[in-house]
């Protein structure tokens, strides 16, 4: 089983002067779900090489067993330092696609033509796609075979407006994940803020927040199996 994980290359939190990137737990927890199941994992990002880590996600308060294991895992860290360029990746080489979040994807992956084409190719080939937290924002410009938004008529979740308000970035992000999904015709499902909540609708598996990443990965695995 081959799983492609796509990370952001964007490191600026708007014009605040603060850094952003991918959220560590949303990479680390799924990474070990996949690895422990014997999957072959490829990491990719728009620019290739080492993608930017949201520095807040490495704070002690956000550390988990998975993040500590990942940072102590020489093989995992070497893989992270050498992500493939998204432009060099082919959908037909993989069985499933997973997007960790962090705020970074809202700026680059949501508008990235290769990322959009990749999701459309996976979906069109009957392969499952999972996105967690802010990563469902990457679906902004993705179309289904009918030419409509891929999420139109589908039940999905993602980082909620209330969670964005809680981290005080509502006015900073280029768009709100919840609002965008609703505007594109999705049925938006949410659980309690910060608690695990995952929705599976056909080939699309979405998780609400960092706490949902492990469950989303497990559901993706089951979908491939």
In the block, residue with structure tokens 């080492």: 50
Per-residue confidence (pLDDT) for residue 35, from 0 to 100: 98
pLDDT at 138 over 90: yes
pLDDT at 99 over 90: yes
Q: Return d(Cα 173, Cα 107) in angstroms, integer.
A: 8
Q: Return d(Cα 118, Cα 136) in angstroms, integer.
A: 14
Q: Return d(Cα 100, Cα 9) in angstroms, integer.
A: 12
Q: Return d(Cα 34, Cα 80) in angstroms, integer.
A: 15
Q: Return d(Cα 48, Cα 22) in angstroms, integer.
A: 14
CA 128, chain centre distance (Å): 13
- Which band of pLDDT confidence, cut at 50, 70 and 90, is reported for residue 163? very high
Q: Return d(Cα 11, Cα 3) in angstroms, integer.
A: 24
SS3 223: helix
Sorted by sequence, the CB contacts under 8 Å of residue 18 that are 6+ apart come out as 12
Number of H helices and E strands in the chain, helices first, is: 7, 9
Average pLDDT of the chain? 97
Structural domains in the chain plus CATH codes: 2-224 (3.40.50.880)
Torsion angle of the four alpha carbons 209, 210, 216, 221, in this order, in degrees rounded to the nearest 10: 160
pTM of full prediction above 0.85: yes
Q: Got the DSSP string for 101-147?
A: -SSGGGTTTTT-HHHHHHHHHHHHTT--EEEETTGGGGGGG-B-TTS
The stretch 119-142 carries a mean pLDDT of 98
What does R_g of the chain's alpha carbons equal in angstroms? 16
pLDDT at 23 over 90: yes
Q: Return d(Cα 6, Cα 100) in angstroms, integer.
A: 7
Q: Got the DSSP string for 164-197?
A: HHHTT-TTTSSS-HHHHHHHTT-EE---STTS--
The stretch 161-169 carries a mean pLDDT of 97
The stretch 113-136 carries a mean pLDDT of 98
Decide if 212 contacts 198 (C-beta within 8 A).
yes
């Amino acid at each position: 089983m081959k799983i492609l994980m796509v990370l952001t290359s964007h490191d600026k939190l708007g014009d605040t002067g603060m850094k952003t990137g991918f959220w560590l737990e949303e990479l680390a927890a799924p990474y070990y779900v996949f690895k422990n199941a014997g999957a072959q994992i490829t990491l990719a990002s728009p620019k290739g090489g080492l993608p930017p880590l949201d520095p807040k996600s490495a704070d002690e308060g956000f550390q988990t067993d998975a993040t500590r294991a990942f940072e102590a895992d020489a093989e995992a860290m070497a893989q992270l330092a050498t992500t493939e360029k998204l432009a060099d990746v082919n959908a037909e080489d993989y069985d499933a696609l997973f997007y960790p979040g962090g705020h970074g994807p809202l700026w680059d992956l949501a508008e990235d033509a290769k990322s959009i084409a990749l999701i459309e190719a996976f979906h069109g080939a009957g392969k499952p796609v999972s996105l967690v937290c802010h990563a469902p924002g990457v679906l902004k410009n993705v179309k289904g075979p009918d030419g409509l938004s891929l999420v139109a008529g589908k039940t999905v979740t993602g980082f909620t407006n209330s969670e964005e308000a809680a981290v005080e970035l509502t006015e900073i992000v280029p768009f709100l994940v919840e609002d965008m999904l609703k505007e594109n015709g999705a049925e938006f499902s949410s659980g309690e803020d910060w608690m695990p909540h995952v929705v599976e609708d056909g080939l699309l598996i979405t998780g609400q927040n960092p706490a949902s990443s492990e469950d989303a990965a497990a559901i993706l695995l089951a979908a491939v199996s």
